[in-house]
Structure 1
Amino acid sequence: MKQQLKDLVCHGVSWAGLMPAVRSLFAGRAAIISFHEIQREFRCELATGTSVSLFEHSLRWLRREGWEIVSLEECLDRVSRDDRSRRYAVLTFDDAYRDNVSVALPILERHNAPFMMYVPTGAPTRTLESWWLGLRELIRSRDDVTVDAMETRFHCPDVQAKVSALARATQWVHEDYHRAAMLAPTFRKAGISLSALNDAYFLDEREIQALSHHPLASIGGHTTSHPALKNLDSASARAEMADNRNYLQNLTQRPVRHFAYPYGNPKASGPREEQLCSAVGFLTGVTTRPGPLDNLPLNYFALPRVFVDSEVGFQARMSGLQRAFRMLIGDARAA
């Protein structure tokens, strides 16, 4: 209901012809846009990524509305120079999914759109404890699912019920990232191999090597094992970043300058992780905290990103409509 109300308001603002005024007052000068999977079979994958149609719409919308799609380094350079001649968008992909190449890359090539892919070591080496893939496979492969650690049984005979069950189980992990390890007995009992899922869904080393030479692609770091870094001691968190950077530089024979924090919210990363990110040699760190790039000076080690969940939602975020709502609500509460 909440999302439907937001969509309705956004449609109303657009219908009334107010969007240009909202954009001029509230839109950021630049934005880093976050993607994970780009899915041909969006419903089959339980709506866990971005559909091809929404991905294509997003790129067309950016072009139509005058956003220039540039590399992360070019974007940050222009923002630092206070270049207001255009608005700039950066496309990023987390985790190195196969469909980023098989599905998204041909679309990116048609748009001549540069992009950044953040790669955890465990994805191409097939050692990643990809609990989110395990949960998805568990729930979509059966109509009755018991997640032992949650002490919860789901009856999900149709796609909508499966999407809802997966959302509940995923949220349970995000409330405490230590819980991810508690899912292993359930996966074993169901015969689900995370290594096999890694092989099915993530690029391998040869494919990442090839992608690193593509003129539109840049490769960034994303830790060795994709942990919530705040849960680790300082030495372990630093090793997760440094070892991943060294691995990717050796694999691609190219410098790896940029980093994405796993999970990237305040529960999983904070000032300590920002300091470590800089100390191991990265130039930037992106988070999952929402927002555009428009506050100078930028904190290069806690850069926000914009997420794509629907056509209307994406347009509202990029046009500044959601920021306008937040400011109005804040003013109303203050009064």
Structure 2
Amino acid sequence: ILTLTRPNGPLTIDCSTPVKKLQANARLHAYLTSEIREEDLQAVLRDLARANGIDADGPRLRTLMSWDEIRRIAAHPLVTIGAHTINHSNLKRLSEADARHEVGDVRAMLQAELGEMPRHFAYPYGYASAVGCREVGFARDAGYTSAVTTRHGVLRAEHAGFLHALPRISVNGRYQSLAHIRTMLSGVTTPLANAGKMVVTI
């Protein structure tokens, strides 16, 4: 059982079976991304973890890379370190000032730690309700060379005019085989995932 505290009363979610866990995940996602202010999200997550006996800092401290580890990776000739905001906030739900801070100030943070200003940016979440024209403008204004969404698609010549709203191929848990990757890189799945569109932006 998972209990969410809301202004209009607690919401109890059944997590007793695999199917109900999937339903609970969808409900929790909707709650956190539409009913909670983005600025309050971290505090709500900490309260939720505490109420369910979870040490929110434990996994973070064990699983996040250290700056020394990132510096070692960044030194590899095949690695480019990009930026992804400071707090992984949904930029569309932030004020202009806060969103610009997330997009722009992370560049200086990374430069201070890695010795190089990042040239590329990936929008947190990257879907339509997280990045639009306003957020693309913020990435452009911050000085990035390019920025990627999570819209599914391959790059085409036309994307030269949309360098801060590029699609990408997601190699996630569902599509990790070489056959999947080759199929997606061929471009055949781009129109299938985008109502027939070949040039995917925002």
TM-score (norm 2): 0.76
Per the alignment, residue 166 of structure 1 pairs with 25
**1:295 Cα deviation from its structure 2 partner:** 4.8
Residues 208 and 329 of structure 1: CA distance in aligned 2, closer, same or farther (over 3 Å): closer
Cα deviation, 1:19-52, whole Å, max 9, x if unaligned, reads xxxxxxxxxxxxxxxxxxxxxxxxxxxxxxxxxx
Whole-angstrom CA distance in 2 between matches of 1:276 and 1:265? 16
**Percent identity between the two aligned chains:** 30
Which entry has the higher C-alpha Rg, 1 or 2? 1
**1:257 Cα deviation from its structure 2 partner:** 0.6
Whole-angstrom CA distance in 2 between matches of 1:314 and 1:281? 31
Map 1:116-131; keep pairs closer than 5 Å.
Answer: none
Unaligned runs of 5+ in 1: 1-144, 331-335
Cα deviation, 1:50-85, whole Å, max 9, x if unaligned, reads xxxxxxxxxxxxxxxxxxxxxxxxxxxxxxxxxxxx
Whole-angstrom CA distance in 1 between matches of 2:146 and 2:196? 32
Residues 147 and 314 of structure 1: CA distance in aligned 2, closer, same or farther (over 3 Å): farther
Residues 177 and 290 of structure 1: CA distance in aligned 2, closer, same or farther (over 3 Å): farther
Per the alignment, residue 333 of structure 1 pairs with none
**1:237 Cα deviation from its structure 2 partner:** 1.2
Candidates 50, 58, 65, aligned match of 1:196: 58
Unaligned runs of 5+ in 2: 198-202
**1:281 Cα deviation from its structure 2 partner:** 1.6
Whole-angstrom CA distance in 1 between matches of 2:134 and 2:78? 32
Map 1:189-268; keep pairs closer than 5 Å.
Answer: 189-268=51-130
Map 1:96-135; keep pairs closer than 5 Å.
Answer: none
TM-score (norm 1): 0.48
C-alpha contact 1:147 1:183 (8 A) present in aligned 2: no
Whole-angstrom CA distance in 1 between matches of 2:34 and 2:109? 30
Residues 319 and 183 of structure 1: CA distance in aligned 2, closer, same or farther (over 3 Å): same
Per the alignment, residue 15 of structure 2 pairs with 155
Query: Helix, strand or coil: the match of 2:104?
Result: helix
- Higher relative contact order, chain-length normalized (CA < 8 Å, sep 6+): 1
- Please report the RMSD computed on the Cα atoms of aligned residues, expressed in angstroms: 2.9
C-alpha contact 1:287 1:304 (8 A) present in aligned 2: yes
Runs (4+) off by over 6 Å: 326-330
Query: Helix, strand or coil: the match of 2:13?
Result: strand
Whole-angstrom CA distance in 2 between matches of 1:313 and 1:178? 37
**Higher strand fraction: Structure 1 or Structure 2?**
1
